[in-house]
Amino acid sequence: MADKIKTAILTGNLKPGERLKEQDLCDELNVSRTPLREAYRILQSQALIEYNPYQGVFVAELTEKYIRELWFIKCLLEPEAAALAARHITESGIAQMEEILDDAEVSNLITPYDFVMYDNKFHGAIAANSGNEELHKIIVQSYESTLLPRSRTVIKNRTILSSHEEHKRIFSAIRNGDIEAARKHTLEQLDAGLDAVLLTLEK
């Protein structure tokens, strides 16, 4: 059930700031309030919804301050994870990342939801191949809690295809053991993503 609501949020069918009416969702999903509230708990942990005790439950809204602070953290962690992966990746790690990229091309990524699920796998694989287990845990957790802003990066002037091309450049650097290029291409993707998500905040 949480996945159905998550999909509606990430595809834009439920808009940031939109109120989620409990009874309407229960009727639409044919469930009682207990499982719906459990779904709310999951979605709140992923920063997809917000609860106001006086007004109800709403799709999370994104602010420029929040986005810039989030990307500041991402720019600290993710380029270094890619640099470490370039240093430590094994043949099995290379095969794993090749499979993720190949699957994305075969599945024809269409929606922002498709993209963030693929994005989770790709960057999770980089972190897993960094050789730093704690960094891997932090990055995986951050990707679970940043689904909404990352889905926004492919809605307007930046396409899913361009993001996929950026991923291929990052992977090529990692596969070739090029530490500086892995760091550089990851930072370039983060910069492009920041510009794209900020654009969606413009009125």
- pLDDT tens, position by position, 44-77: 888 888 988 888 899 988 889 989 999 999 999 9
Same CATH fold assignment for domains 2-59 and 64-199: no
**Greater pLDDT, 202 or 116:** 116
Range 64-199 has CATH code 1.20.1250.20: no
Q: Which two tokens stand for residue 19?
A: 């109120």
Domain boundaries, the chain: 2-59, 64-199
User: Which architecture, in CATH terms, is 2-59?
Assistant: Orthogonal Bundle (1.10)
Q: How far apart are CA 86 and CA 91, in angstroms?
A: 12
Q: What is the pLDDT of residue 157?
A: 45
Q: Give the mean pLDDT of the chain.
A: 88
User: Which of 41, 25, 45, 42 is closest to 33 using CA atoms?
Assistant: 25
52 SS3 class: strand
The more confident residue out of 24 and 122 is 122
Residue 28's pLDDT band (cuts 50, 70, 90) = confident
Look at residue 202 in the predicted model and tell me its pLDDT.
66
- Rg of the chain taking only CA atoms, in angstroms: 18
> Can you tell me the mean pLDDT for 124-152?
91
What's the rounded mean pLDDT across residues 20-30?
Answer: 84
Burial 67-87 (b: 16+ CB within 10 A, else e): beebbeebeebbbbbbbbbbe
Following DSSP, what letter does each residue of 21-49 receive, concatenated? -HHHHHHHHT--HHHHHHHHHHHHHTTSE
Q: What angle do CA 155, 158, 159 make, to 5 degrees?
A: 80
Q: What is the pLDDT of residue 169?
A: 97
**DSSP H or E segment with residue 57:** strand 56-59
